[in-house]
Structure 1
């Protein structure tokens, strides 16, 4: 074929086929601004910028990826299954567009992996585990292939790290079984190491623009998957350089503070969060505000829970919000209102989220002991001295044998451990294990897990192994999957 003929043939192809068949991946200034808007949760602004990019540069392969990012965070903030079902159809169309792009770009495989991974993470919220497993397998394969082709493309490690961490601590269940079928396994330590390295080094690289996304996933892994004692310090360190105009920063910081005993700090962050029509509505932040207020025994938390229930269009935390409203009524001495909210817990909402499943179990149980409930809330807020002073007024025999007495031992153990009194905590935990070993409550199993952690910290690995195994062997209790996953992770460390 002559050079002139070849030139003519290529020109002919350019005429008869759409230009997007030869799309490049141009992460230009407009795309960067759209991406930054997404991670500040200014989704309408991001949509406008993406629409502008379509007009100016319709063949840009970054467009379908940015559109998927926008949908991903829209679905995370709305939590709407109806919207999930409406938007899901765009996934295959976007993958088709990207697959027609420049195969020599590091974004070619990466963008396809990202879209698969984002949909898998959303899908898991609605228990669509088999399809999620296929998407994770696909994302993992694409990222590993891209890593071989472009070893200097740091962003590969973000998805590989997340998948490793996620799968490395996955409890037994349908998703784990499905992934095993596809031959996908993970390693928690490897995944955390990758994400930590990226969070540390990305600001010094040409991929600095992706820093917030790395931190978003890293905090998710530390706080929600690994339950790491480093979650608070790492989160506050790595989110410090993110703009205060980012509502996602509010979510990350407030969530980790609320879960790690920094309740007053969480309240301050939530109260000062950016607001206005520029931001995507995020009802969960009202729910979280209610949680941290009630942990302080501030009963005005009811207004936050009610605001969440009024504004929420999603499927999660409805039962849990009503359970917390029932506790407020109980602690205020309004038994009629308590019964009304308990009825709502039983009838309203869905059962996708572990917290909602637990709320239904508690609603179908006997009324909680007020003293133990207060101790539980104060502990969750990190008010350990107040919780300790409260329980110090009582002895075990003052609580009904079975659930309440086991909970008394368990709460005492958690509080003493948090106050640095590990020897007393071990006694309390052992009492909890002995008292409630055959009960359906999580107190005994989690007490064994916490004993394993104390012995592991003391480098008494033999005893740590024994108690991790005890935690695993207890079955049929609340939070079984989570406790078992943490215990297995502990076993892998002490081995």
Structure 2
């Protein structure tokens, strides 16, 4: 025992020195990483500049900063510059110490960052290949270093995404050669969340995926606000919190955060926050204030994403305040601005295309019900719905939407049977059309039956939601339905 003890110390020292060789995550670079994650980009850049050019963590953090700046600016030129750096950065890291768990991990991180940016700019095939490469690196790393916790952050994300991937992306699964397991992914992110360095980023990824693919309930909401309270200078968590609260019908909570937190010169300006402020006003029914915020965003944003969506929402502001001429003038901007990559931009484009065919504008009462429901103002939505009936509506689409919106109101007010009745009515009326209301209604019925513990019925309606083709929210709805089926054990 006396002989073994100093021998073990020597092994530990040797082990640490080997891993420290090349991959030296210095205290200064660790601080820089936290500053990047907080979106304090100028501060992090100063810290990174003080490090040796040969340090791979410097390469990784520079790539991280570039990713954030490209996503925020939405600039094609910045995107091209970012992608052109890919080869040299990856090659530099790869040639370093292969015996370090950080070699494959950092390369996988860079590839996943590249994938995120490529998806944003519509290059989904190239992004898929980066994800394939990242997955292979992470799997190899896990075999070589099974106790290396940081890789669980990325593996957990991949397992959840693959487990809920829409039908039209099944070819990606075949390329990856790995099976997605949502339960496994959730557990991996939970373990990664305990890591002193990478844990905060793992938590943010977990919250995002919980809202985007799984179910974001009261427990998740409380945990999110608790993390934000503990990290008030973390702008990335602030942005994701406001976004999630808006998407989960909590406009008042979003408004509270938007007023509570202010960020100084150490942070870049993020135009997306102007959109969030406008959305809060829109959901509240303050269309004049919303219109001013949307116009402010359009004046200052230089990118091409969100433009169609923003013009559509600006159209709603004018339409709902009775300025019909101005509303149709704004509507005509939709086909000539921006790109149709995001689902919201696609929905705006599809709305305009339907308008050019029918020359019919939406029912104002239905619009107000929709916006109140989206903002979480369910009592207001219910009052508005009592003044409307299916018989009073003219077009089939209006009748379908009416039943879907009323179904959502009953669902949110804990009246599941009445909700199911209206959702099923929407499905029947939508039978021969490509509107999203049939798929959306099927998804919500699936959730209701899942909550009731009626698994076979839930399964049938989740599969029905996936069966709808060519609607504007297919990727999102398919992803959520597949995630629910996986959670229940119907998909491996």
Indicate how the Cα distance of structure 1 residues 147 and 178 shifts in structure 2: closer, same or farther if over 3 A, else same: closer
Matched, 1:402 2:392: no
Matched, 1:72 2:67: yes
Indicate how the Cα distance of structure 1 residues 178 and 490 shifts in structure 2: closer, same or farther if over 3 A, else same: closer
Aligned partners of 2:265, 2:351: CA distance in 1, in Å? 38
- Which one of the candidate residues 124, 135, 142 is aligned to 1:140? 135
CA drift at 1:227:
4.8
Aligned partners of 2:334, 2:44: CA distance in 1, in Å? 37
> Match of 1:13?
none
- Which one of the candidate residues 28, 41, 50 is aligned to 2:26? 28
Matched, 1:444 2:438: yes
Aligned partners of 1:187, 1:127: CA distance in 2, in Å? 26
Runs of 4+ in 1 over 6 A off after TM superposition: none
Unaligned runs of 5+ in 2: 1-19, 355-359
Matched, 1:292 2:280: yes
- Which one of the candidate residues 251, 265, 275 is aligned to 2:263? 275
CA RMSD, aligned part only?
1.8
Cα-to-partner distance string for 1:146-199 (whole Å, 9 max, x where unaligned): 2222222210100100111112111123x4424423424422222122113332
- Asked if the contact 1:23–1:60 (Cα under 8 Å) also holds between the matched residues in 2, the reply is no
Unaligned runs of 5+ in 1: 1-21, 203-207
Aligned partners of 1:148, 1:212: CA distance in 2, in Å? 25
Matched, 1:326 2:311: no
CA drift at 1:234:
4.0
Aligned length: 463
RCO (CA 8 Å, sep 6+): is it higher in 1 or 2? 2
CA drift at 1:257:
0.9
> Match of 1:98?
93
CA drift at 1:368:
0.9
> Match of 2:454?
460
CA drift at 1:124:
1.4
CA drift at 1:409:
0.6
> Match of 2:110?
115
Aligned partners of 1:338, 1:94: CA distance in 2, in Å? 48
Deviates more, 1:252-261 or 1:324-333: 252-261
Aligned partners of 1:219, 1:308: CA distance in 2, in Å? 27
Indicate how the Cα distance of structure 1 residues 305 and 231 shifts in structure 2: closer, same or farther if over 3 A, else same: farther
Cα-to-partner distance string for 1:406-433 (whole Å, 9 max, x where unaligned): 1111000001100101111111111111
Cα-to-partner distance string for 1:358-406 (whole Å, 9 max, x where unaligned): 0111122331110010010000100001100110122210112410011
- Asked if the contact 1:437–1:474 (Cα under 8 Å) also holds between the matched residues in 2, the reply is no
Secondary structure, aligned partner of 1:374: helix
Aligned partners of 1:119, 1:372: CA distance in 2, in Å? 41
Deviates more, 1:326-335 or 1:289-298: 289-298
For normalisation by structure 1, the TM-score amounts to 0.89
For normalisation by structure 2, the TM-score amounts to 0.90
Alignment of 1:336-351 (within 5 A): 336-351=325-340
Aligned partners of 1:109, 1:488: CA distance in 2, in Å? 30
- Asked if the contact 1:302–1:325 (Cα under 8 Å) also holds between the matched residues in 2, the reply is yes
CA drift at 1:256:
1.2
Matched, 1:168 2:157: no
- Asked if the contact 2:304–2:337 (Cα under 8 Å) also holds between the matched residues in 1, the reply is no
Aligned partners of 1:375, 1:196: CA distance in 2, in Å? 38
Matched, 1:362 2:360: no
Aligned partners of 1:267, 1:176: CA distance in 2, in Å? 39
